[in-house]
A and B are shown apart, each in its own frame.
Chain A
């Protein structure tokens, strides 16, 4: 039986009380497993399966349908550049080109030091602040290659936790001055 941290076990136990049907917990449980294990591997599938009472194949089916569950490892900082029309109109292509040369990796490839990876994704709902890029769970908006270069330097130096679990309103704290922008 796969065991995750006490924190993960507690979180799932609480979630199971909140929905009329415990099968609904499969998606949040996959997130919890992913945050802890880095991506959805066989352990993650079997852990979620045991928690929500669904066959592993069903959990795998769900994990493979949704793009935000990584089926293979990503870098410690995973960059997702929006490529859809509003961003494309304002230069999203240059952002991806810049990342490819900066990290010397192609999409989905993790840099040798395990720190960086990137991919192009579809509309992230940040069209008014285009072009933009999501790094782990934080949006970085109104980008230019130069601005993104500065952000990467700061991430490298400060090693911020940009995951949602980093805690509530402190998400991306310290990086706030370069991440959040006014959408209205």
Chain B
């Protein structure tokens, strides 16, 4: 691990790092002390200059996002830490929340000062009970020590922080879904514009940043934008946490410098494909990004641009590896089930289309596929993507389309080997419905 600069995981392996004592031992809360004497606009400029991009999946420049918040709107500005990590294959924020919660808080304080925000919230997915406890305790410790609350470090700056638990809805990771949920409603995304920077939570200007993004701030301020920009590639500066899972020898979360060769990451950090098996495919950025075949990986690097060039995305950095024995029809059915279950139900194309696509994959997998099924998935997908309020529609169709495109022979083989459409019989009165998908 020595070859990658450790910014986010610098102290994550230290014992008791999750406590205030442990965090302060390694100069914790010294950066925010310095920041509180800086001009907030300078802080935004510094983050802009660092080239830091949103680590939740979209990769939007963080400093730019902050600069959309209107100054002097007369309304309070709110900061939300998106810790609703739910993208299948992604479990990086969990490590930060569990092992270095004070780093997350200090990062939030830096952002809060830059935005002149007096209230923030960590929105943690409900299933992360243990990380929730860790962050909650850390917030309590910080309050006790005066790092949160009124007149922090005698600067006159007031900041209050709440830790909020989600309750099992993937869609709350979408920023406007998160805002709706925090307001005490179903987490159904809002139509944009207005963007949260102008009208966010409680009708006020709001910035939603991913946990990993916020956790990078203390290092950037301490070492300067230029030092951060010197790591990684020109357009993808810095480091990124990669959650590696699936058929590999060493699953886990690794902090890498962006631009690192993908195959080298697979061999060295992940310990290669398990059981001496051959590689079949990799989903490099969480389940919503296109899958890549083993033969497409030569020369691909782990950064935003290189992965786009390869036909996929860096996304949230959920690196899912599949070996030669993997059944791709079964795998895409698994993902289709996920998206169908997680659709918030607001937009008809996503709510109904998701079910339909899942049923088509289901019948192909069961040996009842029809010759026209793959074309039907494509046609359905074209009516979902771009026709929904939030990007969930795209997230739903991307795996479906890319699995078919990259592994057409597996789908056709199952359709050809199958017994064809189910016939309506007395034992099977619902067969026709099953075939149509409704």
Chain A residues at the B interface, C-beta cutoff of 8 Å? 18-21, 23-28, 30-31, 52, 54, 58, 61-62, 65-69, 83-86, 88-90, 121-130, 134, 137-139, 164, 168-169, 171-172, 180, 182-184
Closest 7 CB pairs of A and B: A66-B167, A127-B245, A23-B184, A137-B129, A67-B168, A68-B168, A86-B245
Residues A128 and B243 in contact, CB atoms below 8 Å apart: yes
Distance, CA A65 to CA B344, complexed state (A): 8
Q: A62 contacts which of B87, B94, B184, B318 (Cβ < 8 Å)?
A: B184
Given the interface contacts A88-B334, A89-B246, A184-B253, does A23 sit within 8 Å of B165 by beta carbon? Answer: no
Residues B183 and A24 in contact, CB atoms below 8 Å apart: yes
B residues within 8 A CB of A121?
168
Query: Nearest-CB distance from B1 to chain A (Å)?
Result: 10
Query: Nearest-CB distance from A99 to chain B (Å)?
Result: 18
Encoded as 1 (CB less than 8 Å from any A CB) or 0, chain B from 87 to 101 comes to 111110011000100
Q: Offer 24 A-B interface pairs, CB within 8 angstroms, sorted by A.
A: A19-B162, A20-B202, A23-B184, A27-B167, A58-B185, A65-B344, A66-B166, A67-B169, A85-B283, A85-B338, A86-B88, A89-B247, A89-B331, A122-B170, A123-B338, A127-B90, A128-B91, A128-B243, A134-B127, A137-B130, A164-B129, A168-B136, A169-B133, A183-B95
Distance, CA A183 to CA B91, complexed state (A): 9
Distance, CA A124 to CA B246, complexed state (A): 14
Q: B119 contacts which of A20, A89, A123, A172 (Cβ < 8 Å)?
A: A20
Given the interface contacts A61-B186, A127-B320, A138-B130, does A27 sit within 8 Å of B251 by beta carbon? Answer: no
Q: Does B109 contact A (CB under 8 A)?
A: no
A residues within 8 A CB of B360?
none
Residues B334 and A27 in contact, CB atoms below 8 Å apart: no
Residues A129 and B251 in contact, CB atoms below 8 Å apart: yes
Given contacts A86-B320, A89-B246, A127-B318, 11 further A-B contacts (CB under 8 A): A24-B164, A26-B184, A27-B181, A28-B164, A88-B331, A89-B245, A125-B91, A125-B94, A125-B128, A128-B244, A184-B9
| CB-CB nearest in chain A for B126 | A68
A residues within 8 A CB of B11?
none
Interface contact tally, CB-CB below 8 A: 169
Given the interface contacts A125-B94, A169-B133, does A85 sit within 8 Å of B89 by beta carbon? Answer: yes
Q: Does B335 contact A (CB under 8 A)?
A: yes
Residues B251 and A128 in contact, CB atoms below 8 Å apart: yes
Distance, CA A128 to CA B318, complexed state (A): 10
Q: Does B175 contact A (CB under 8 A)?
A: no
Q: B243 contacts which of A83, A85, A127 (Cβ < 8 Å)?
A: A127
Given the interface contacts A86-B88, A122-B342, does A139 sit within 8 Å of B168 by beta carbon? Answer: no
